[in-house]
Amino acid sequence: MRVAITGASGFVGRRLVPLLKERGAELLLIGRDPARLEQMFPGASTCTYDELPVRGIGYDTLVHLAVLNNTALASKAEFIAVNVELMVDTVAAARQASIPHFINVSSVHALDPSNTSKYAYSKRVGVECLRLEKGITITTVYLPFVYSKQWSGRLNILNRLPDSLASMLFILLQSLKPAVNVETVAKYIVGVATTEKESEIILSDTQEQNLFFTVCKRTLDLSFALGVGLLFWWVFLIISVLIRIQSEGPAIFAQERVGLHGRSFTCYKFRTMKLGTTQAGTHEVSASSITSLGGVLRRTKLDELPQIWNIIRNEASLVGPRPCLPVQTELIEARKRRGVLNIKPGITGLAQINNIDMSDPEKLARWDQRYVALQALLLDLRIILATAIGKGRGDRVNTETA
């Protein structure tokens, strides 16, 4: 594989270039100072940005790492000049060289619209500009904290510790915020020629193998479920009585849902719909099927309280993708394809606080995949707090047939 790279002198580039060479990639390093790149990477092929349209002919992929980072003391205009204008010019040069695939490397910070830093803003503007480009396949790859065999920056102190202790401390830190090994990035770049190219992807080390994260998340789940059950049993009783008084049928609604690894489980909620309502996704159900009390319970999310039993049974978590019905096959397939079924479903999730419901299966699956990639204890706490203050409207009913 032949790979052209901009920004090779940066933190990620210095670690990525040797790994790509080890995997047999033929590299072309692009920068304003090719002599400096040759000094850093002896024997490497180099060129300037102006030479790229000719020197880049025959290359399979261009990886754009050149960036003005959030640590730079620069004006907004300078961030735009590097993170937007230079990137757009590089895309044009890659297209001239007939390079078929352009990989724009960004940070997960840019995914958060509340992050108004000059870096995050400029990277978001850059992605919007890339969506207008034609004649070349473009993928934006979002990276969390990137690490390698040697720790750097604030984690430099770990290099002074025994390997076992340093690894243990890093696993603890990684449970709080997502990270990715630079080898994962190299593997993606080398393998991207034979894989489906999506317009956006997040590369990260998921938390599935992080024992500290697993233990902390389960402890949080159980603490919440038992705490709610012991402190608010009287709320359960009152709601149950009110439901039975207002409409015919049981207070608790039991429904088959799809959980971890696609296995079915029985999900428990307070009944918010009239008895006999069709078993379908909420977005497919008429608004007239919702009882007046049910509307209040759904708005306040109190209808979800009985799911503490699913948490205790380890069928669900407090935070995770919302479980769907077995009949929602399009959503199940999309989630399976994106690895979403590898984690337990949740009472609330990243998609829900961003007002993404099940009416658009592909969009929901993408947001669920984003949560899997970014999953960490601090993110879970943010989602819990956002849910507690009422952010997100949950699954919407079909008002057209009300």
Tell me the pLDDT tens digit for each residue of 252-281.
Answer: 999 999 999 999 999 999 998 877 666 555
Q: What is the pLDDT of residues 191-239, one digit of tens each?
A: 875 566 688 999 999 998 899 999 999 999 999 999 999 999 999 999 9
Cα–Cα distance, 44 to 35 (Å, whole number): 10
Which has more confidence, 79 or 149? 79
pTM above 0.85, yes or no: yes
Number of neighbours of residue 25 by Cβ within 10 angstroms: 18
Start-to-end CA distance of the chain, whole Å, equals 57
Cα–Cα distance, 260 to 310 (Å, whole number): 12
* 164-193: average pLDDT: 91
Average of per-residue pLDDT values in the chain: 91
Q: How far does CA 359 lie from the centroid of its chain?
A: 20
pLDDT for position 91 = 97
Confidence grade of residue 379 (pLDDT, cut at 50, 70, 90) = very high
Least confident of 127-136, 244-253, 282-291, 319-328: 282-291
pLDDT for position 196 = 60
Residue 122: phi, psi to the nearest 5?
Answer: -65, -35
Beta strands per DSSP E along 166-296: 179-181, 200-202, 252-258, 264-270
Residue 399 clears pLDDT 70, i.e. is over it: no
Cα angle for residues 166, 172, 176 (degrees, 5° grid): 135
Cα–Cα distance, 139 to 8 (Å, whole number): 18
Cα–Cα distance, 294 to 244 (Å, whole number): 12
DSSP run (H or E) holding 62? strand 61-64
Query: Which DSSP state fits 50?
Result: T
pLDDT for position 369 = 96
Tokens of 189: 């770049």
